[in-house]
Structure 1
Amino acid sequence: MRGLLVHEWIEAVGGAERVLDAMADEYPDADLFALWNDAPDRYSGRRVIESTIARTPLRGRKALAVPLLPTLWSHGLRRLDEYDWALVSSHLFAHQARVPGVDPAQQFTYVHTPARYLWNPELDARGASAAARIAGPVLRAVDRRRARGLHNVAANSRFVQQRIRDCWGVDSVVIHPPVGVERLTAVDEWSDVLGDCDRALLESLPVGFVLGASRFVPYKRLDVVIAAGRASGRPVVLAGDGPDLERLQDLAQSSGADVRFVVRPSDALLAALLQRAAVYVFPPVEDFGIMPVEAMALGTPVVVNASGGACDSVEAGRSGIVLDDFADATLRSAVDVAVGLDADACRQRAETFSTARFQHEVASWTGIRSVSRV
């Protein structure tokens, strides 16, 4: 049976791409389709088909392309060969895809989230633009109508499952994404594999620090990580990069906390930071949240927001603490309790989000047998 994997667009780095990687590994004979492919070596040896928009000036210009995408997804795949089944990875409009030859009952849609800037603009700054406000009502109506034609839908967390129900009126099953804990646990001590510069930087950091690691953008709420350090009397390390760096530096300077910045850490240094931290604090409202699982895989307890998908990954009281508010007293208590949690319990919890588990659950959900397992 011929299969097609469908993805919004393929980038060099991204959580959604990790999901696509796992799907591609599970179904090695399936073709891939995306609006455009900006990582041509990612699936070498595979047939990766780009949409017509990839040959226009709109390639990669997501905001400008949005008004055209519903039409492209519903009609733009007609030129393809016919397929027997399709597995769709969607975080914008890919769930609207109509794949030639595929019975709707054989099209399976894995939803990272309904488009946040359309349905939850309070969580995505793009939804505040004038263009988004004008086009929003029409795009939401089209999105809801087409989503209601889906037969098989999976959500990446209970939080997204509820959002799918609220936005589209569609039921779904929950299949948590693959985190790739195998890569992290393959190295016993990440500091041992660092180069000289990274090792010197790591050793310069204070002991027992609270870690925040993400892109430096406002919705990641790294100000809460600084507050957690101040409230608990612990030093803070913020790792990442982004447009919010200068504001965070100003906030750190005025906070009274000992805050260190590690800008653009390498993958190995980030893993070493996660492994060495006393606790990893993750305050944003996310669809799932891969970083808390990575921290737990390295034996580090986490503090996460009760709102959002990150709380799916935490076994409260064993591998981390789930918070309903970020008051100083709450943060202080959460950090104090979290640092005393058992590292082995954290690792055991993270193991439940392995790539192998994800692939098994996808195969069970779709009923499509991988030729690599025959």
Structure 2
Amino acid sequence: MKRVLVVDWLDKFGGAERVIASLEKTFRFTQIYGLTNVMKPSDLNKITQGKSILITTTFLQIFGRFFRLFFFTFHYFISKIKIDSSAKTIISSSHAVAKGISKSSKNQLHISYFQARNFKYIWDDAPLYFGKFLFLVKPLINYLQKLDFKQAQKPDFIISNSKFVQQWVKEKYNRDSIVIYPPVALDDFPLETQKENYYVAVGRIVAYKRFDLIVEAFKNSDKKLIVLGDGPELSKLKENATENIEFKGFVDSSTVRKYISRAKAFIHIGVEDFGIAPIEAQSCGTPVIAFKAGGILETVLDGSTGFFFEKQTKESLLNAIESFEKSDWDATKIHLHAQTFSEERFSNEMQNFVHNCEKDYFNIHN
């Protein structure tokens, strides 16, 4: 059966792209569609696994890495993509607008995997992205929200990557969905029982992940913090940091593993829809200190594999660290909990769901 994949875009290889790679490995798509492809060939190869696969993009391709400046056109361009009419099943991986793809045949099946709360910069995180200019763009945001709601009605079935996202999808789009947790490359993050005297924070340095609060907390502490990741907020954080805070920038997966495996704890203060990095840390036997909100509530066991704090503030984080250091942590127990989020489990659950949907759908429509 011919299946094609629709993504929002291809740029850097991160958590969402790991899921896309697992989808490709599971379903072996004949073609990939997206708004734009600015991904390095070496990163793209991680998705296609060396296979030559046709990638179809849109007019936004001409803007290169500046395509996000035209976010207000994303719904329009995704709706203009023409899917091969011979494709039977469309699987979209959506954290923004991929769900809005149009079928080229009424008999096609569209299953959308929601990697996150979609298009967050026009929904929950608009104040973070637009700041004091929010009032100026409010009419545009309202218009885009209406478009986003309309396009969210297009998939025949929706899969959410967490219960947190599932609830959000119901609230914003009035759509029911099932939950299949994303895959984590657990074999790349083996158990390490020997910990060193530092904390670690990992991720893309963007506003909603609130690395600024982590830095502010450790400025008021003598404890060592290592930050792994790159992004538009990095230079600002460096300017505001003290000597006990080290920034390593973008590093490869082996370096990430080295730092998180030996850290005293992994710090997580943003509201993530799922959060792969905290599971990688737990797979290494490293406990997680996290703000009590979002998908992290489904992946960390409070008091057993990590420690939650109630407020998204530097004071609450510092208090949590002090409490954390008074407790004992079992690295092996933490590692075993993380194994429930394996790639094999994701692949099996996706295959079963897609096959069942195809069987029922095509029995009716053919």
TM-score range, shorter chain: 0.7 to 0.9
Matched, 1:272 2:272: no
Alpha-carbon distance in structure 2 between the residues aligned to 1:228 and 1:349: 29
Contact 1:2 1:30 in 2 (8 A): yes
Amino acid at match of 2:351: A
The structure 1 residue matched to 2:335, chosen from 347, 365, 368, is 347
The structure 2 residue matched to 1:366, chosen from 354, 357, 363, is 354
Aligned-pair identity (%)? 25
| 1:233-279 alpha-carbon deviations (Å, 9 max, x no partner) | 633223334444454345443xxx83333344443222111011011
Query: Please, which runs of 5 or more residues in structure 1 have no aligned partner?
Result: 192-205
Alpha-carbon distance in structure 1 between the residues aligned to 2:62 and 2:233: 29
Matching residue of 1:307: 293
Contact 2:269 2:291 in 1 (8 A): yes
Amino acid at match of 1:50: T
Amino acid at match of 1:305: F
The structure 2 residue matched to 1:109, chosen from 112, 132, 147, is 112
Amino acid at match of 1:341: W
Matched, 1:119 2:108: no
Q: How does 1:211-250 map to 2 (within 5 A)?
A: 211-226=200-215, 234-250=223-239
Matched, 1:88 2:77: no
Check 1:331–1:288 CA distance in 2 against 1; reply closer, same or farther (3 A cut): same
Contact 2:38 2:64 in 1 (8 A): no
Alpha-carbon distance in structure 1 between the residues aligned to 2:184 and 2:59: 31
Amino acid at match of 1:273: Y
210-219 or 242-251: which moved more? 242-251
Amino acid at match of 1:8: D
Contact 1:53 1:59 in 2 (8 A): no
Matching residue of 2:271: 285
Amino acid at match of 1:208: N
Query: Please, which runs of 5 or more residues in structure 2 have no aligned partner?
Result: 359-366
Matched, 1:324 2:310: yes
Q: How does 1:1-374 map to 2 (within 5 A)?
A: 1-39=1-39, 40=41, 41-42=44-45, 43=48, 44-53=50-59, 57-77=62-82, 80-101=84-105, 103=107, 106-112=109-115, 113-122=117-126, 124-125=128-129, 132-185=137-190, 207-226=196-215, 234-253=223-242, 258-325=244-311, 326=313, 327-328=315-316, 330-336=319-325, 340-367=328-355
> How large is the Cα RMSD of the aligned pairs?
3.1
Alpha-carbon distance in structure 2 between the residues aligned to 1:232 and 1:340: 21
Contact 2:31 2:54 in 1 (8 A): yes
Alpha-carbon distance in structure 1 between the residues aligned to 2:281 and 2:146: 39
Alpha-carbon distance in structure 2 between the residues aligned to 1:369 and 1:150: 12
Amino acid at match of 2:121: Y
With the length of structure 2 as denominator, give the TM-score of the two structures. Answer: 0.83
Check 1:121–1:217 CA distance in 2 against 1; reply closer, same or farther (3 A cut): closer
Alpha-carbon distance in structure 2 between the residues aligned to 1:49 and 1:246: 34
Matching residue of 1:194: none
Q: Aligned with 1:352: secondary structure? A: helix
Q: Aligned with 2:341: secondary structure? A: coil
Alpha-carbon distance in structure 2 between the residues aligned to 1:125 and 1:322: 26
Contact 2:94 2:112 in 1 (8 A): yes
Check 1:190–1:66 CA distance in 2 against 1; reply closer, same or farther (3 A cut): farther
Contact 2:126 2:134 in 1 (8 A): no
Aligned length: 347
Matching residue of 1:202: none
With the length of structure 1 as denominator, give the TM-score of the two structures. Answer: 0.81
Check 1:132–1:99 CA distance in 2 against 1; reply closer, same or farther (3 A cut): farther
Matching residue of 1:201: none
Amino acid at match of 1:360: N
Alpha-carbon distance in structure 1 between the residues aligned to 2:58 and 2:233: 35
1:4 Cα shift? 0.9
| 1:158-212 alpha-carbon deviations (Å, 9 max, x no partner) | 2211221121111111111112112223xx7799xxxxxxxxxxxxxx9421222
